[in-house]
Every structure is written in C-alpha cells, then in structure tokens.
Amino acid sequence: MSAPILSVRDLRTWFYTDQGVAKAVDGVSFEVRLGETLGIVGESGCGKTVTSLSILGLLPQPPARIEEGSSIRFGGEELIGLEANKMRALRGNEISMIFQEPMSSLNPVYSVGNQIAEVLRLHRGMNKKQARAEAIRLLAEVGIPDPDRRVDEYPHQLSGGMRQRVMIAMALSCEPKLLIADEPTTALDVTIQAQILELLADLRGRHGMAVLLITHDLGVVAEVCDRVVVMYAGQVVETGTVYEIFADPKHPYTRGLLDSLPSIDNPGQRLTSIPGTVPTPTHWPAGCRFQERCAQAGDGCEVAQDLVALDGADRSARCWRSRP
C-alpha cells in the first residue's frame, strides 16, 4: 500500500442559502494514494461534485463554506485556508481537473492551442513558441489526429470526444500528481466513452499520476478504478476495492445501485430501481439517511450510523446490519 497523496478528513462543505443550510458534503473522509484510481460513486445530488470542487477551492464562498474541523491534505500540505496564490500555483499544475461538459468547459473564443499553451506559460514559464510546440505534442499524445492543424482550431470545430481529449491534454500539460475527473464521460457517446476511459487509464500508467474519478456509472468504475467510495446524501456509505464492492456489497444502497444495472446473465429481466429520490440537502433525514428508501429498514435505523471498518483493508460501511 503506497502513501496517500491526497487525504480528505471529515470534510463538511455547507451552503448557506435562503432555504436554509444545505449540508451538501457532511463529514466525508477518504484518501487517494500515489498512482491509484479512486472512484467516487453516487446519484446526482449526493455531494460528489461539491467534494471535488472543495479540493481545488473552486466553490464560490459565500454561499459555500468549508466548516471548521475539515481537512484536505495534499502531499502533506493543508489546502483548506491555503493562501490564494499558493492555491493557484497548485491548480492546473500539481492538481488538474477535467469536467463533465466538454461542450461548455472550453472557452469558445480562443483556439484550443491558446488554451493549452496558457497553462504551460503560466506554470512552466515557457515562451509562446515553446508552449505552442508542447501543445501540439500534447494533442498528439491524447490521440488527436493532425495536431499541427487542430492546434489552431476553435472548440466549436471539434466533436465532443475531441474536446474532452483537449481538456485532458490541458489537464496533463504540467504532469500533475493528481487528476480529478468529474464525470468525464457522462456527456459522451458510448463508443467515445470507452476511448476516453482507455486514454485516461493509458495516461495514468505512463505518467504515474493518481486519479480521482467521480461518476454515477458503475460500469466506468468496474473498468478503471482500483478502489471505490460510495456516497449518499453528503456522506460516505461504503468503501472497498472494486472487487469487494461488486462481489459483496455491504450497504443496502450499494446493493441497490448494483441491482439497477442490467445484467447479461438475465436478459429480458425487468431492472430493479431504488424507490424515491435523494432527500434535499437542507433537510437530511434524522438517523440513517437512507432509511426512507431502504428495503431492509427496521429498528436501529433511527440512530445515525457511523462508518464502521470491516474485514479487509479500507473496507467499511455505514449500516448496522453489516457490522461483523
């Protein structure tokens, strides 16, 4: 087991709104180790994107606030409360991020070469010519054909998959130690999804960076992740290796997620689904936050549950029924 590059402890990111305090992320802990891919899985609104934006300090404050006692350590340095200029020096350099929507994540009025070169000039101190040459090399590395020509094109001239490749090239330009990928394939066609995932896995191997992959797609998790953190209602409900999570889910929510995947073994069978929706973050239910939607809810669920360590390294679940 290698050393953690990123360690998040008891992260609580709350939003102070007119409707009350939205506890979007409410006590989340996990760590990402050198060279591994950690997946954060959960439905929309479970707090996974807010978690990733909190790491880079990209949330507008106010309304967001990272509460006292939260800690995000990156390579031994505390990121919460870090001076703005030190934080900027990390962003795009040591920690990079790619986003869900390649359509809108690139600036429409600048050429892709300009947008990649910008990062190189900022963090690497390259001049215009060097940055352009490096941008072309990066475009080639992420598998864009004819990079000499593409470097001068604008985002609207590229397909969605190409744009996501440009985003990846931009994120990789300074050889980051950690890449945060927030639903990188959600907006893409299935065939393109596979290509992008393959590219990410390939680049991770070549550059030895750690990847924090945020997704709601368990298929993606199975394909690329080493370990998984399952989130529900602003909390971590289960952790484990990919094998453990898929083979033996301990939390009813994880089980529900797995059951709602179509299976090749039982074609034609109706898919099961988890009833209801994620509760609103201003009013999390008391006790276990999943009990309203849980098929096995019973006595004992009205008490708030702790994340309990189980057999196996990094194995834990937030359900009293799963206690050893």
- Asked if residue 123 binds other proteins (CB under 8 A), the reply is yes
Determine the 3-state secondary structure of 213 from DSSP: strand
Q: What angle do CA 51, 55, 61 make, to 5 degrees?
A: 85
Q: What are the Cα distances from residue 9, in Å, to 82, 90, 222, 312?
A: 16, 20, 25, 21
- Binder to other proteins among 91, 150, 177, 318 (CB under 8 A)? 91
Instruction: Specify the residue, 119 or 288, whose C-beta has the smaller distance to other proteins.
Output: 119
Q: Of the ranges 24-32, 110-118, 248-256, 294-302, which one interacts with other proteins (CB under 8 A)?
A: 110-118
Half-sphere exposure of 46 (CA within 13 A, CB side): 21
Say what angle helices 112-123 and 128-141 make with each other, to 10 degrees: 120
Q: What are the Cα distances from residue 145, in Å, to 79, 136, 139, 157?
A: 38, 10, 8, 14
194 Cβ contact list (under 8 Å, min separation 6): none
- Asked if residue 118 binds other proteins (CB under 8 A), the reply is yes
C-alpha torsion angle, residues 67, 53, 210, 208 (rounded to 10): -130
- Asked if residue 214 binds other proteins (CB under 8 A), the reply is no
- Asked if residue 93 binds other proteins (CB under 8 A), the reply is yes
Site residues (CB under 8 A) for other proteins, limited to 267-306? none
Instruction: Specify the residue, 97 or 307, whose C-beta has the smaller distance to other proteins.
Output: 97
Question: What are the backbone dihedrals phi and psi of residue 162, each rounded to the nearest 5 degrees, phi first?
Answer: -65, -45
Least distance from other proteins to the Cβ atom of residue 233, Å: 25
Q: Which two tokens stand for residue 213?
A: 């992959």
Q: Of the ranges 115-123, 126-134, 194-202, 273-281, which one interacts with other proteins (CB under 8 A)?
A: 115-123
Smallest CA-to-CA distance from 173 within 149, 146, 194, 151 is with 151
- Binder to other proteins among 108, 125, 262, 268 (CB under 8 A)? 108
Determine the 3-state secondary structure of 317 from DSSP: strand
- Asked if residue 67 binds other proteins (CB under 8 A), the reply is no
- Asked if residue 72 binds other proteins (CB under 8 A), the reply is no
- Asked if residue 124 binds other proteins (CB under 8 A), the reply is no
- Binder to other proteins among 19, 44, 61, 107 (CB under 8 A)? 107
- Asked if residue 62 binds other proteins (CB under 8 A), the reply is no
- Binder to other proteins among 54, 105, 164, 215 (CB under 8 A)? 105
Least distance from other proteins to the Cβ atom of residue 292, Å: 33
- Asked if residue 90 binds other proteins (CB under 8 A), the reply is yes
**Binding pattern to other proteins, positions 134-173, x when CB under 8 A?**
--------------------x-xx---------x--x---
Separation of alpha carbons 168 and 135, rounded Å: 12
- Asked if residue 97 binds other proteins (CB under 8 A), the reply is yes
Amino acid at 71: S
Q: List residues binding other proteins (CB under 8 A).
A: 56, 58, 88-93, 96-97, 99, 101, 104-111, 118-119, 122-123, 154, 156-157, 167, 170
